[in-house]
Structures are given as structure tokens and as C-alpha cells.
């Protein structure tokens, strides 16, 4: 089902197409509302069944900060918060969700998230290469254009970009440098939401559907691939021969590595006998390839994987739905979010089934999925746990979560400088320090506290935010210490200070009035490094 | 439906670590330090009552595996004995390699085991078995000795790290790979080591010059005020963990000098000798004196002398001899030897015969190691090998017996079952392997 997206509508001048916009928005909203209604029904039915009273609906102040962080990857500016609070429309939350989903910040934020999820953290040299060879740009385009997720999976796994705009899609395989086990171990969670490391040496001990043959089968789908540096840039070539071997289990008996993965039927392929030599002849490759590009085998294992295993596999939709749910809700319907195996039953099985079917039927429309979750009642609950005994997988309150390194870096930059730079030192420092994205449990290590307390680049960034229009000079311009306290709290926390907080800030500033710049930077530091800023709630 | 602190799938805690290692991706050589450093100081959600038994341990990890012939079990004048002689010790009738004249004078304080006989004969598997106490049982990861001791004897509320790995050499072939792995196993990352040594400092532990100590303290007080308010308003366990981490900053910063070799007295540094291993053994003593429970000192993997075995050992053994002598004497002088177990060993021994490059190859069949201090009876030599050092002929023991001995010496029940949800039954030492009674007090 092809749905007109909101992005496609954005550039249309409103006066000329009022009617069209009206209709389309109604249609879009109507469909999203279906999914939202379903989420609301399923989640509240489970509350009723378990006798859970959910938290109350969150305030607008809370909502605006939360939704900016989840959709745009940063806290709102003081002005953005006030604009939202002053908006009197009943459906202003929906309007905000929609406008954020169309924003460039959203593309950047989801590119940040999916870079960490699909590729893992890396040293700065690797981040540079990801940017230089188009991977970063590819991810940004995927989310800017709201590209269908099944298409993205195909582009990444076939890794034969048809035009230079998609060159970056090869990087998922290329960065793993011909390490075919690393590729298999990345493909399984990325597109099927399962982890298979266990199955390298033995069938999965408790999730019996994950067999050792699947581990080595998945490796085999990629083991004819080899990195190639072409005039057009990095490519992942593929041979038409080889890649046959046996794997041994713990008992020592060995099995051939057939092209098989999970419940898909084994892709037939003729195996040479042990004394048979295969020749890597031209007829094994597609005729008339593009000059300069690696030739493509007629029997391409990567392509077979995509057409015979990936396409139509229910886990492709299910894994993405569960992951997006985890991004928005703080934990997956299956938890951990990338272990959709028989060991980890979903908390809301029917909802997960329904959303997965709906996601596939919508043409793997990621933005529509995000939209429907953001609109749900559960997403808009207060972060106050209603009772000690209420389990987190009831989604009866908004589960607080630490900001990712990038959310933190973006938020600090916006709050202090009013703008954002992807390559700022503070971004690099933070992403080398705070590695977790969608953590299974929240544990803040002391090394983070040491970082916030003593890292020189963070310290410099805060102290030097004293230029025109930047936080320290804005605060300094205020007439009274009370106004300063209010400005700081509104900017950093998006709310007014309590009386106690005002008093604490005023006292601090009064004591150090002879060094007011330093004093303001200390207050900013103390607010940025406190839990209210560190978490989304 | 509270989450268990260490999530397990397939009954394995490997996944938690996998995910973190995956996120770390190409941060390769920093992996062990980052993962475990993050871990040790995480405030445990289930604040187990820390048991304070006061026993400590220093493991001199002689990675690569030293030769028993050039250390504790010389065979002078035989076909396998090599060019170095044997010398008498202060134990009547007991000789050790002539490369170890200093240890020869303190043999009454040492316990030597000459009858180690183990299975793995490759480094990675050997390191695994001799630092964890047993061979792997996939997919479960047995915690390393230091993690077990830190968990059993450590003081979680101490500002000083309880398990420290001092290893100035980031490299070390298989040991490098091993260092990148999961050290704390199923005990969880909070029992992993803090890694320091050489250029490895603890990041961000020093206060910046741009702020005065009082401003540092004042702004922290303000931070705590805001952060506690949030924690209380939301009854937030995440904020609690966040605030607890900040609560440890001051204490940790105060022990920054413990990790600074330069801060150790020059006369002591000279007395231990200029080598990196010697310097870090001194630092280990210093850490133990100041509250660490387990310090493991390594120096990459220097003992794997497949080439020029004699020349290499001629350099390495005298330093080891000197360092053990200094350390044991210092601990005794300070009245700490009774509570501090010192262990010196590698992952196996070396072949009686030489290869074509005049090296000795891996030999787990019959080898030696040494201990002293807490719970250990000095002046004992346990077991014996035959005339050529090919086989153990008396008192054969393996890694399990050794670990049972170490645990017993430290006052830890060697055979206690690990009662961890989702795991099959494991014991601290499997199969009821007996400690080596002869070397225990």
C-alpha cells in the first residue's frame, strides 16, 4: 500500500492545494490512528487483566522535552518549548510529532541510532571513514526519505549499489573486512532480531530453533564476498565458486555448511566433491556488467539470501517493529530487543503480531510506525512509576532512559550554543565515552561520572559558551539572580525552577559574584550533569 | 518482574558482554579496560554485604609460560637441564636454578609445586584454564581468579579498586586476545579488573587546572541537589545509579596517586629495579597496602621463548628472582605477608628438549609454580618430576587442585556451588578437587 508521506507534502504551497492537503492528512492520520488505537487497546487490556493502574498522562512540559529527544535527538530550545506550551490546539501533540518527523534533526537522530545499532561504536578514524565512504550519508538519506525498511535491508545485503547515491550501502559489509562470521553475527540481529553467537559451537542451548547449521549457513551466504577497492570506491565483490566447508560441533562430528538460515528452506546448490576442482570461469558471471564494477555471479549467494531467505521473512518486519518500539518505549515488546527467539516471549504477543503485519502491509513505513507509537497513550504517560510492584513490561509508565552520547552532545550544544555541529569535539568525546544505545538495563558507571567531572573538552565547551547569544552571556544579561535562575532552568530543563532551586542557584551565584562567568558555567555544569538532564523521562 | 542484574539468554551472560563489545567495535585494544573499568565501579543494584576477611592476593602472571628447568625444578648436568646450574637454598637438600640466587635465601617462606600437570598446551586455552581454574564449558564463562577473590573478599564501598590488572604492555599475542575477552564471567562486569600500568591511566581521574578544588566541590554539591530532587521525585533507580556514580568520584580522584608510578618513592623504585615488570610489582604492593584486594601483574607475554630460550631466560629469570625476593621481604617487613598471598606462575611449562631454534616449546605435562604468604606453609616443595623432568613422578596435581589450594589459603570455600539463576550447577572448583594439603598452613 503506497501512502503519501508527510515529507512529500511538505513543500506544497498550502494556499493552492488546501483541499488536497486536508484530504491526505486526514487519510494519513486516520491510518496512523488505527495503529495507535490498536496499541491503546492492547496495552490497556493487559493493564486491566493484571489489575494495573497506569501513571497519569504527562504534562505538556514533559511531553515536549521527551518527544524532541525521541524524535529529533535533542532537547527543545527555550523558544521551542514556549511555542509548544502556548499552542492552544487540542491536537498540538500530534502536530508536534508530525513536524518533528519531517525535520532534518529526525534524519540525523535516527542515522545516529542506526549507525550505533547496525555498526557498533568505533574509534574516530572509523567514524571518519563511515562518513567519507557514504555510509553516514546513506543512513541520513534512508531516514530523510523514509525509505522502506525492506528495501534498505536489500540494499545493504546485496551491496551492489545501482547509483552513486547509494554507494554507502556497501559499508555494512565492507567495514567488516571479509570477516564472514562477523558479518553473520551482525546480519542476524540487524534484520532478523536474533543473536546467533551461541550457535557458533553448538545448537542454541535453549532457543532450539537457532541451530549451529544456521550460524554456518548464514556465514556461507556471505563467505564468497570479498572487499574490493574500485575506481568508484569500496565495493564488496563476490566469487561464483568456493566457500564450501564443514563445521564441527562440540562432540566433534562434522556437517557441511549448507545455505540455510532459521526456518527458511535450504537454498539448493551443487557441492563439489572433495577431489573436484572448480574453475572460476567467466560463464559463471553475469554478462555485460558495469565497467569498473566487480562482476556479479549468476548464482550469487548474497542475492539468494535476499530473495529466498530475507524477502517475506516475518522476522524482518517483526525485528524492526520491536526495535522501533524499544527506541520509543524504552524496552522492546520482546526484551532484549534483539533476541526474538523462543527463549524471550513477547509481553504483548498479539500487539507485536498485529504491528508487524501492519508494518509490512504499510510497505515497511518506519516513520508511520514511529508516528503511531508516539501518538499512543502509553508513550504519553508520566515517567512516575505508579507502584513499586508494577512491572516495566506493562508499559504503565514512561520508562526513563539515558540519553545516548549523540542526544547528549546535541542537547548540550543546543542549550549552550543554540546550534549543533556533528563533528564538534564534544560529540566525539561523548561517543567515545558513552557507548550504550538501547541498553538492556541502566547502570551508570563511575567512569561516566569521572568524565563529566574532569573531562577537559567538556569543561572547555561549557566555559567557552560565552559568545553572543550563547548561554553564559544570555544569563549574564539578566538583571537579577532570580531571573538568571529562571533562564537557566527553562533553558536546560524546559520548566520553571522550584522555590528551593531558585534559592540554591541564587545563593551560588551570590557567593561567587566576583567571578560571575565561572559561577554561571558551574551552575550550567551542575544542571547538565544531574539526572534530570541525563535521562529522557 | 524486576530484571536480574545480569541478563542471561541461553543461560549465558556472554550476550551482555557481546552487546557491549559489539558497540565498542573497533575500540579494540581498549576493550578490556573500558568494559571492565565501567563495570567494577558500577554500583551493584543488589548491594551484597561485602565480606571483609582481610585477605589479599598478588598474582605475578608470567604470561607465555616460564621454563621450570630454569626456575624451580633444575636438572643440572642432564640432557634436558640446559646450561645453567643449580644452587643450594636455605632449605636443606633443595636446589633451584642458579638464575635465582635471591629466592634461594627465602625458600623457607615459599611453597614450590613441582608437579603441575595440566591439559591445554596452547596459550589461549592455557591462560583460560590457569586464570579461571578450569577449562571452558561453552557457552558459560567462568570468572577469572581475581574476580572471584574481589567478589568474595573485596570491599565494594572502598574508593580503591578491588581488582586491578597492571599490565604495561598492551600487546602479547594470545594474551592480548584474552585481555579483550570477558574476565568477570557470570559474576558480572562489576567484578572485572580496573586496568592500569604503563601508559594506561584511569581516564579523567585528575582534577582540571581550570577549576579550584573548592569550586569542584561546590558545583558537585549543587549538582547533587538537583539530581537528588529528580531521583526522589521520580523514585528513579536510574538516577540513583547516576548519583551513586558521582558519589564515588571524589574517593576515586583521591586514589589517583595510587596509579601514578612516579609518585612512588625513588629509593623503592630503584630497589625493585628499572624493568617495567619490577616497577609494576612495586605498584601492586602499594595498591594492596592501600586497600586493593587482588592485583594481577603481567607484562604482555614475554616468557614464550621458542627461540633462544636460554638467552631470554637469562634476562627474565633474574628479574623475577629479584622481584619475588623484594616483594615477599617487603610484605613480611610490613607484617602483611600473613594476609597477602603471592602467586607466581604461567599457563604451563616448557619442554625438556630444545627445538631447532634452541627454544623450549609448550609443555603442560610437568611444570612448576611458586606461592608464598597468606594461608601458605613456607619451606615446602610439593611433588617431583623424574630425572629428566619429562613426567611427574610424585604428587601430581592440576589446575583444579591448585585453585582449590589458592581458595583455601584465602579462606574461600573451594567447592561452594555458584547459585546463579539460569545457570547449570557450577562449583568454584569442580569435581571436589582437593587442595594440596601439604602447602597449606
On whether any CB of chain B is under 8 Å from the CB of A499, the answer is: no
- Interatomic CA distance for residues A48 and A396, integer angstroms: 11
CA atoms within 13 A on the CB side of A168: 20
Give the gap in angstroms from C-alpha A321 to the nearest C-alpha of chain B: 20
* d(C-alpha A15, C-alpha B281), whole Å: 79
Distance CA B363, CA B347 (A): 10
C-alpha span between A159 and A303 (Å, rounded): 9
- Whether the predicted interface score ipTM is above 0.85: yes
Q: What are the CA-CA distances from residue B298 to residues A256, B59, B233, B279 (Å)?
A: 42, 9, 47, 11
Note the pLDDT of residue B7.
30
Do A449 and B42 lie within an 8 Å CB cutoff?
no
B-contacting residues in A 174-193 (Cβ below 8 Å): 186
Instruction: Judge whether B10 is closer than 8 Å to chain A, CB to CB.
Output: yes
Any idea what the Cα angle at residue B239 is, between residues B25 and B221, rounded to 5°?
Answer: 110
Q: Which of A391, A435, A508 sits opposite B23 (nearest CB)?
A: A435
| Residues near B329 by beta carbon (within 8 Å), at least 6 away in sequence | B106
Cell numbers found for residue A424: 564538534
Cell, residue B128: 583460560
Per the omega criterion (within 30 degrees of 0), is the bond before A336 cis?
A: yes
- Residue B208 CB coordination number (10 Å): 14
Taking alpha carbons only, the member of A261, A173, A188, A274 closest to residue A224 is: A173
Distance separating alpha carbons of residues A441 and A409, to the nearest angstrom? 22
Distance of CA B245 to the CA centre of its chain: 26
- All residues of chain B having their beta carbon less than 8 Å from the beta carbon of residue A392 are 1, 3
**Closest among B245, B165, B147, B163 to B204, alpha carbons compared:** B245
User: Could B16 and A400 be called an inter-chain contact, meaning their C-beta atoms sit closer than 8 Å?
Assistant: no
* pLDDT (tens place) for every residue of chain B, 441 residues total: 333 333 333 333 343 444 444 444 333 333 332 233 333 332 332 223 223 348 999 999 999 999 999 999 999 999 999 999 999 999 999 999 999 999 999 999 999 999 999 999 999 999 999 999 999 887 688 999 999 999 999 887 778 889 999 998 877 888 988 887 788 888 876 788 888 887 777 789 899 999 999 999 999 999 999 999 999 999 988 898 899 889 888 888 888 888 888 889 999 999 999 999 999 999 999 999 988 999 999 999 999 999 999 999 999 999 999 999 999 999 999 999 999 999 999 999 999 999 888 999 999 999 999 999 999 999 999 999 999 999 999 999 999 999 999 999 999 999 999 887 767 889 999 999 999 999 999
**Interior angle at CA A333, CA A328 and CA A335, nearest 5:** 100
CB B207 within 8 A of CB B216: yes
For chain A, 537 residues long, the average pLDDT of each consecutive 10-residue run is 38 38 42 85 97 97 98 97 97 98 98 97 94 97 98 97 92 97 96 90 80 95 96 95 88 89 93 86 87 92 97 97 98 95 95 97 97 98 91 96 97 95 91 90 84 96 96 96 98 97 96 95 98 97
Q: Among partner residues B11, B41, B139, which is closest to A445 by beta-carbon distance?
A: B41
Dihedral pair phi/psi, residue A238, rounded to 5°? -145, 135
List, in sequence order, every residue forming a beta bridge with A254; answer none if it has no partner. A248
SS3 B37: helix
* pLDDT tens, position by position, A81-99: 999 999 999 999 999 999 9
Name every chain A residue with its beta carbon within 8 A of the beta carbon of B41: 445-447
Closest CA to A158 of A293, A8, A337: A293
DSSP B295: E
pLDDT digits (tens, 9 = 90+) for A376-398: 999 999 999 998 889 999 999 99
List the single best residue of B188, B234, B243 to mutate versus A (max A Cβ within 10 A).
B234
Tell me which chain A residues have a C-beta less than 8 angstroms from the C-beta of B246: 449, 452-453, 529
Q: Check if the beta carbon of residue A397 is closer than 8 Å to that of residue A386.
A: yes
Residues 245-264 of A with CB under 8 A from B: 250
Query: A345 touching B, CB under 8 A?
Result: no
Contacts of B14 in chain A (CB under 8 A): 197-198
CB atoms within 10 A of CB A9: 16
pTM, 2 dp: 0.77
Whether B95 contacts B381, CB under 8 Å: no
Find, among A467, A465, A469, A460, the residue nearest to A520 by Cα.
A465
Q: What is the pLDDT of residue A31?
A: 56
Under 8 Å CB-to-CB from B419, ≥6 apart: which residues? none
Q: Please calculate the CA angle A312-A318-A321 and round it to the nearest 5 degrees.
A: 130
Which of A339, A443, A446 lies at the smallest CB-CB distance from B249? Answer: A446
Cell numbers found for residue A102: 519531517
How far is the CA of B428 from the CAs of A112, B60, B126, B417, B423, in angstroms? 43, 21, 18, 6, 13
CA-wise closest residue to A101 among A316, A328, A312, A259: A328
As beta bridge partners, residue B129 has: none
Which residue in the set B5, B208, B248 is minimally distant from A446, CB to CB?
A: B248
Report the C-alpha gap between A451 and B106 in whole angstroms: 46
Q: What is the pLDDT of residue A33?
A: 63
* Residue B341, burial from CB neighbour count under 10 angstroms (0-12, 13-18, 19+): buried
Q: Which of A204, A531, A536 to mutate to test the interface with B (most CBs of B within 10 A)?
A: A531
Task: Return residues 39-98 of B near A (CB < 8 Å).
Answer: 39, 41-43, 45
- Give yes or no for A453 touching B (CB within 8 A): yes
Is the CB of B227 less than 8 angstroms away from the CB of A204? no
Query: What distance lies between CA B402 and its chain's CA centroid?
Result: 14
Cβ B235–A385 below 8 Å, yes or no? yes
Assigned C-alpha cell, A8: 512529500
Residue of chain B nearest A456, judged by CA positions: B208
Report the distance separating Cα B116 and Cα B64, nearest Å. 16
Cβ contacts of B92 within 8 Å, gap of 6 or more: none
Count of positions (residues) in chain B: 441
Contacts of B319 (CB under 8 A, 6+ apart): B273, B275, B277, B278
CB contact (8 A) between residue A447 and residue B15: no
**Residue A426: how many other CB atoms lie within 10 Å:** 22
What pLDDT was estimated at residue B229? 95
Beta strands in B18-118 (DSSP E): 56-61, 86-88, 95-97, 110-116
Taking the CA atoms of A417, A95, A371 and A145 in sequence, report the sign of the dihedral they define: negative
The confidence score (pLDDT) of residue B423 equals 76
Comparing C-alpha atoms, which of B241, B244, B253 is closest to residue B160?
B253
Angle between helices A456-463 and A516-528 (to 10 degrees): 120
Average pLDDT along chain A: 91
Bridge partners for B200 per DSSP: B197
Amino acid at each position: 500500500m503506497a501512502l503519501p508521506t508527510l515529507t512529500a507534502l511538505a513543500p506544497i504551497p498550502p494556499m493552492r492545494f488546501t483541499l488536497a492537503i486536508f484530504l491526505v492528512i486526514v487519510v494519513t492520520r486516520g491510518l496512523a490512528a488505527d495503529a495507535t488505537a490498536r496499541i491503546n487497546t492492547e496495552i490497556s487490556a493487559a493493564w486491566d487483566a493484571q489489575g494495573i493502574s497506569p501513571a497519569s498522562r504527562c504534562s505538556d512540559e514533559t511531553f515536549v522535552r521527551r518527544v524532541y529527544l525521541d524524535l529529533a535527538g535533542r532537547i527543545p530550545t527555550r523558544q521551542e518549548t514556549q511555542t509548544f506550551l502556548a499552542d492552544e490546539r487540542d491536537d498540538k501533540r500530534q502536530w508536534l510529532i508530525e513536524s518533528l518527523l519531517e525535520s532534518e534533526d529526525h534524519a540525523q537522530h535516527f542515522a545516529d541510532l542506526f549507525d550505533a545499532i547496525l555498526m557498533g561504536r568505533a574509534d574516530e578514524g572509523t567514524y571518519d571513514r563511515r562518513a567519507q565512504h557514504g555510509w553516514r550519508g546513506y543512513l541520513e538519506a534512508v531516514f530523510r526519505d523514509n525509505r522502506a525498511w525492506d528495501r534498505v535491508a536489500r540494499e545493504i545485503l546485496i551491496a551492489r549499489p545501482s547509483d552513486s547515491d547509494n554507494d554507502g550501502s556497501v559499508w555494512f559489509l565492507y567495514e567488516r573486512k571479509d570477516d564472514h562470521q562477523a558479518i553473520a553475527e551482525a546480519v542476524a540481529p540487524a534484520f532478523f532480531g536474533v543473536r546467533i553467537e551461541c550457535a557458533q559451537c553448538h545448537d542454541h542451548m535453549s532457543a532450539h530453533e537457532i541451530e549451529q547449521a544456521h550460524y554456518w549457513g548464514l556465514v556461507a551466504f556471505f563467505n564468497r564476498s570479498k572487499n574490493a577497492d574500485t575506481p568508484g570506491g569500496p565495493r564488496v565483490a563476490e566469487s561464483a565458486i568456493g566457500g564450501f566447508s564443514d563445521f564441527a560441533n562440540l562432540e566433534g562430528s562434522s556437517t557441511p555448511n549448507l545455505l540455510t538460515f532459521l526456518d527458511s528452506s535450504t537454498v539448493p546448490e551443487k557441492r563439489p566433491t572433495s577431489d573436484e576442482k572448480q574453475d572460476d570461469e567467466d560463464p559463471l558471471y553475469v554478462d555485460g556488467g558495469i565497467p569498473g564494477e566487480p562482476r556479479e555471479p549468476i548464482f550469487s549467494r548474497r542475492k539468494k539470501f535476499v530473495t529466498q531467505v530475507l524477502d517475506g521473512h516475518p522476522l524482518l518486519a517483526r525485528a524492526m517493529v520491536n526495535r522501533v518500539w524499544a527506541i520509543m518505549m524504552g524496552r522492546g515488546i520482546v526484551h532484549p530487543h534483539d533476541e526474538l527467539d523462543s527463549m524471550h516471549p513477547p509481553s504483548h504477543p498479539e500487539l507485536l503480531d498485529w504491528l508487524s503485519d501492519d508494518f509490512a502491509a504499510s510497505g515497511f513505513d518506519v516513520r508511520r510506525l514511529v508516528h503511531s507509537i508516539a501518538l499512543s497513550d502509553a508513550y504519553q504517560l508520566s515517567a512516575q512509576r505508579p507502584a513499586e510492584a508494577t512491572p516495566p513490561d506493562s508499559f504503565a509508565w514512561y520508562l526513563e532512559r539515558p540519553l545516548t552520547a549523540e542526544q547528549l552532545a546535541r542537547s548540550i550544544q543546543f542549550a549552550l550554543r543554540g546550534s549543533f555541529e556533528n563533528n564538534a569535539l564534544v560529540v566525539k568525546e561523548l561517543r567515545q565515552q558513552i557507548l550504550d544505545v538501547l541498553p538492556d538495563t541502566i547502570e551508570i558507571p563511575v567512569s561516566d561520572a569521572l568524565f563529566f567531572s574532569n573531562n577537559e573538552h567538556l569543561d572547555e565547551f561549557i566555559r567557552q559558551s560565552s559568545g553572543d547569544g550563547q548561554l553564559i552571556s544570555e544569563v549574564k544579561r539578566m538583571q537579577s539572580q532570580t531571573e538568571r535562575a529562571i533562564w537557566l532552568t527553562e533553558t536546560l530543563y524546559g520548566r520553571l525552577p522550584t522555590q528551593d532551586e531558585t534559592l540554591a542557584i541564587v545563593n551560588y551565584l551570590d557567593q561567587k559574584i566576583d567571578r560571575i562567568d565561572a559561577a554561571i558555567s558551574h551552575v550550567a555544569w551542575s544542571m547538565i550533569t544531574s539526572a534530570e538532564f541525563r535521562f529522557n523521562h | 518482574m524486576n530484571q536480574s542484574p545480569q541478563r542471561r539468554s541461553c543461560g549465558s551472560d556472554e550476550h551482555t558482554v557481546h552487546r557491549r563489545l559489539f558497540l565498542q567495535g573497533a575500540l579494540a585494544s581498549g576493550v578490556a579496560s573500558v568494559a571492565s573499568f565501567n563495570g567494577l565501579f558500577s554500583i551493584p543494584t543488589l548491594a551484597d554485604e561485602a565480606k571483609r576477611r582481610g585477605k589479599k592476593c598478588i598474582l605475578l602472571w608470567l604470561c607465555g609460560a616460564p621454563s621450570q628447568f630454569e626456575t624451580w625444578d633444575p636438572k643440572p648436568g642432564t640432557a634436558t637441564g640446559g646450561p645453567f646450574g643449580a644452587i643450594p637454598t636455605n632449605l636443606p637438600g633443595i636446589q633451584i636454578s642458579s638464575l635465582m640466587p635471591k629466592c634461594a635465601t627465602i625458600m623457607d617462606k615459599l611453597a614450590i609445586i613441582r608437579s603441575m600437570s595440566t591439559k591445554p598446551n596452547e596459550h589461549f586455552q592455557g591462560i583460560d584454564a590457569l586464570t579461571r581454574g578450569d577449562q571452558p564449558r561453552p557457552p558459560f564463562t567462568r570468572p577469572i581468579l581475581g574476580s572471584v577473590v574481589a567478589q568474595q573478599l573485596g570491599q565494594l564501598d572502598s574508593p580503591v579498586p578491588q581488582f586491578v590488572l597492571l599490565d604495561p604492555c598492551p600487546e602479547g599475542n594470545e594474551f592480548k586476545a584474552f585481555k579483550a575477552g570477558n574476565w568477570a564471567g557470570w559474576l558480572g562486569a562489576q567484578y572485572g579488573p580496573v586496568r592500569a600500568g604503563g601508559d594506561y591511566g584511569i581516564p579523567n581521574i585528575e582534577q582540571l587546572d581550570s577549576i579550584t578544588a573548592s569550586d569542584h566541590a561546590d558545583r558537585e554539591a549543587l549538582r547533587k541537589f538537583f539530581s537528588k530532587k529528580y531521583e526522589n521525585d521520580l523514585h528513579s533507580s536510574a538516577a540513583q545509579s547516576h548519583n551513586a556514580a558521582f558519589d564515588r568520584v571524589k574517593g576515586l580522584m583521591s586514589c589517583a596517586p595510587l596509579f601514578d608510578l612516579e609518585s612512588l618513592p625513588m629509593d623503592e623504585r630503584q630497589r625493585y629495579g628499572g624493568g617495567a615488570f619490577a616497577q609494576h610489582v612495586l605498584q601492586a604492593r602499594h595498591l594492596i597496602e592501600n586497600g586493593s584486594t587482588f592485583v594481577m601483574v603481567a607484562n604482555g607475554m614475554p616468557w614464550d621463548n621458542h627461540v633462544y630460550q636460554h638467552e631470554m631466560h637469562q634476562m627474565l629469570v633474574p628479574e623475577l628472582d629479584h622481584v619475588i625476593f623484594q616483594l615477599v621481604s617487603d610484605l613480611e617487613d610490613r607484617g602483611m605477608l600473613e594476609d597477602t598471598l603471592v602467586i607466581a606462575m604461567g599457563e604451563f611449562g616448557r619442554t625438556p628438549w630444545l627445538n631447532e631454534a634452541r627454544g623450549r616449546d609448550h609443555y603442560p605435562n610437568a611444570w612448576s609454580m611458586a606461592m608464598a604468604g597468606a594461608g601458605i606453609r613456607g619451606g615446602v616443595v610439593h611433588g617431583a618430576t623424574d630425572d629428566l623432568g619429562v613426567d611427574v613422578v610424585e604428587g601430581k596435581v592440576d589446575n583444579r587442585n591448585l585453585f582449590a589450594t589458592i581458595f583455601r589459603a584465602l579462606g574461600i570455600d573451594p567447592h561452594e556451588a555458584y547459585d546463579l539463576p539460569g545457570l547449570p550447577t557450577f562449583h568454584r572448583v569442580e569435581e571436589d578437587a582437593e587442595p594440596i594439603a601439604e602447602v597449606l598452613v
